[in-house]
Structures are given as C-alpha cells and as structure tokens.
Structure 1
Amino acid sequence: MMHADLIDQEDFRERLVALGFPIPPGASAEQACEQAVSGLSPERALALRRLVEQLLGGSATLLPTVREAISRTLLPALVPR
C-alpha cells in the first residue's frame, strides 16, 4: 500500500498555528494565508518563508487550494522589497 504525504487546508493551518500564527479553526487556506501575512514581523516572515520553502520543495503533495493560496498570498508577501 502506498501512503502519500498530503497537505490539506487543516494540515496547513496547523503548521501555521505551530509557528505562532493565530489562525482560527475551520479557516480556508486563503483565509489562513491572509491572516498569516497581516502584521508580519521580520522574524515571522523568516519562519513563514522557511515553511513555504519546506512545503513547496518537499515531497508532500499540496492540495490545489493550499498551493494556490500560497502562490497568490504568501509568495508575494514574502518577496524582499
């Protein structure tokens, strides 16, 4: 039997909460991303950047809604200015 690492909206939310972001239960991936980038400090931006690199570069499969939310909301917010 093959087991795939699958990251759904709840897994994604839990990872953000583990980093200290106040994401409410039941939040969609898009809502979680929006919440994470609001009031982003340099320290949190670094932690968030590491999480995104881990998720996008790892072997786990991101559900399309999670990948889209990361691409649409997190990546633009994490681009150095």
Structure 2
Amino acid sequence: MMIADLFDESDFREKLIDLGIPIDQDATFDECRSTVLAWLDSTPEAVSHVVGLFETLRNTDVVLLPEVDEFIENILSIHTR
C-alpha cells in the first residue's frame, strides 16, 4: 500500500515563509493567499521565485491539497503567459 505525501496548507505556508513572504506562522490559508497576492503586486521581482516554487510543486510526486492546487494554478495562469 502506498501512502501519498500530502502537501497541505501548513506545508504551503512554510514554503511561502521560506521564500521571504511575510506570513505569520499561524496564518490561515486565506490569509496566506491574500498575502501572496499583495506581495506579488508590491514585489514584482519576486514573481519568478514564486512561479519557480509553484512549478516545482506541480512537477513533483506530492499530492497537493485541492485548495493549494487551485491557488497555484491561478497564480501560474496569471504569471506564466
């Protein structure tokens, strides 16, 4: 039996914090999402780092929580035209 490695909201929050996005350790997923959107608007030089992280996550074997996957897809559709 194989157990999937689920990438959940807390994993997502940790990766965003590692990128330098100013997110509280106890932020909710909605707070993370709105902070990322505001940060991308105010820090355009960071877009490539966020896109790189999100593309890496999409191309690994981890199972993304549906909300995380949807948010990643939205960001990539905006910033990888």
User: What band does the TM-score fall into relative to the shorter chain?
Assistant: 0.7 to 0.9
- The change in CA–CA distance for 1:48 and 1:10 in structure 2 (over 3 A counts) is same
Q: Does 1:43 align with 2:55?
A: no
Sequence identity of aligned pairs in percent? 37
Residue 21 (structure 1) shift: 0.3
- Aligned pairs, how many? 79
Decide whether the 8 Å contact of 2:13 with 2:29 is kept in 1: yes
Return the alpha-carbon distance in structure 2 between the equivalents of residues 39 and 61 of structure 1: 26
Q: Does 1:34 align with 2:26?
A: no
When normalised by structure 2's length, the TM-score is 0.77
Q: Please, which runs of 5 or more residues in structure 1 have no aligned partner?
A: none
Aligned equivalent of 1:14? 14
Q: Please, which runs of 5 or more residues in structure 2 have no aligned partner?
A: none
Return the alpha-carbon distance in structure 1 between the equivalents of residues 33 and 61 of structure 2: 21
When normalised by structure 1's length, the TM-score is 0.77
Aligned residues: CA RMSD: 2.0
